[in-house]
Amino acid sequence: MDQLFNIDFKKISSHSKKEVLERKKFFELFLKAGLPNKKDENWKFSDLHTIICQNFKQIQNYDDFKFDKKIEFIKDFDHNHIIIVNGVFKSFDLSFEEKDKVKIKNLNSLESSSNLSSNNLHNLNKALSIGGFNLEVEKDYKCKKPIIIYNYFASNLDNKIINNSNKIKLNQNSELILIEYNFGAKSKFFNNNFEKINLNNGSSLKNFVIQKTKCNGYFYKNISGTQDYNSSYQNFILSSGLKFNKIEINMDLEKENSNCYILSGLGLGNEEHQEIKTQINHLAPNCKSYQKIKNVLANDSNGVYQGKIFVKDIAQKTDAYQLSKALILDDLAEFNAKPELEIYADDVKCSHGSTSGSIDEDAIHYLMTRGIELSNAKKLLINGFLNEIFENLPEQYIKTFSEKIIKEQIDGI
């Protein structure tokens, strides 16, 4: 592990001696345990140690990357924006009426890092984090426009590691639509990101993750959050096109009548590996969670879903649903699923399931008898398979935009 990571703490930035020592402490903890591997139950389907060692001879930390592209803003709908370049918060722009209600600033990478973590990638993040953003929405404010996070990765990132972290807080009865829009160079790099979400009483966060361009990067993102009374969290994952991507979501429904929705529609192609791992903890009565994950797998791609629903003994009247489905287009493609229920309350409604199968040859034959070419017939069935996810997108303009992105990705499979 020492030979794999070539880390220069001077490149992070000019920190105090105390902070440098603290960072080195976390890095030594990371080196001691190493990258997670299949011996860890959480990584049994995505052996990160093997994957990274097979694809990187040496990984270096942040350097002076050149910001070599002018950001082309989305014109499909009106929005505010945050610009992130190589994991570093650069700027933001809000409409006049929202500047006093939505607070966005740079996040000090070590401001909450004093506790050791059981997640060794978190120790790595705290050792090398170059910051991120801290976003807070004021009480009773309803965002007029969505905020798009333009998450841009420049060229010259080969064999580099980027660590950053973000915080999102919605105060009482506030609402926010947040779109993470990832794009940029096709370099081979490792991105390690941690995000903390805090939803207060009556608040609502709708979060969309969209991958614009294919990328040879290796991505890990950990999202953890707490939900107060009557809060709502919705996460729509549409991030196809990455060489490796693992998203972990851990949400605590701490107070009554909170709800959590996670939906994903992915099209994976040649040598692409993506895992979604969720744990929804029902810790109070009358809460609801809904998860639906759909994968279209072509060539030798690998899709993984691990989902757990935990229901505490006091969490009566829980309503929890979980389903994963995979459409496998080629013999070399693989889908692994591990759905789990851990229930200690007796008055609940919980279900989980997983299915996978190949494309319906009878449906293909039917469409071809109607004059539709084979390739177009397959695309129609793939679109139909994923359409259920798009039907659940709450805003029509986001639905239209997302469908266009996914169509481009499917055409490239």
* Per-residue pLDDT at 63 exceeds 70: no
Q: Picking from 132-141, 300-309, 400-409, which range would have the lowest pLDDT averaged per residue?
A: 400-409
Q: Picking from 17-21, 110-114, 153-157, 405-409, which range would have the lowest pLDDT averaged per residue?
A: 110-114
> Residues 6 or more apart from 398 whose CB is under 8 A from it?
77, 146, 177, 179, 208
Q: Which is more confident, 111 or 184?
A: 184
What are the distances in angstroms from CA 210 to CA 191, 264, 266, 305?
16, 10, 10, 18
Reported as a single tens digit per residue, the pLDDT across 289-324 is 999 999 999 999 999 999 999 999 999 999 999 999
Q: Which is more confident, 110 or 7?
A: 7
Per-residue pLDDT, 317: 98
Average pLDDT for 227-240: 94
Strands (E), 1-52: 5-6
Reported as a single tens digit per residue, the pLDDT across 340-397 is 999 999 999 999 999 999 998 999 999 999 999 998 898 889 988 988 888 888 888 8
The amino acid present at 188, given as its one-letter code, is K
The residue among 230, 294, 287 whose CA lies nearest residue 262 is 294
What are the distances in angstroms from CA 175 to CA 111, 206, 256, 272?
26, 8, 19, 35
Per-residue pLDDT, 228: 98
Q: What is the DSSP string of 47-62?
A: -HHHHHHHH-S-EE--
The amino acid present at 73, given as its one-letter code, is F
Per-residue pLDDT, 98: 81
Helix (H) or strand (E) holding 166: strand 161-170
Can you give the residue ranges of every domain in the chain?
5-360
How many Cα atoms sit within 13 Å of 107 on the Cβ side? 28
The residue among 263, 157, 261, 265 whose CA lies nearest residue 211 is 265
CA-CA distance, 217 to 187, in Å (whole number)?
A: 6
The distance from CA 36 to its chain's CA centroid, rounded to whole angstroms, is 18
What is the pLDDT of the chain when averaged over all its residues?
A: 91
- Provide the 8-state DSSP code for 108: P
* Per-residue pLDDT at 115 exceeds 80: no
Per-residue pLDDT, 167: 96
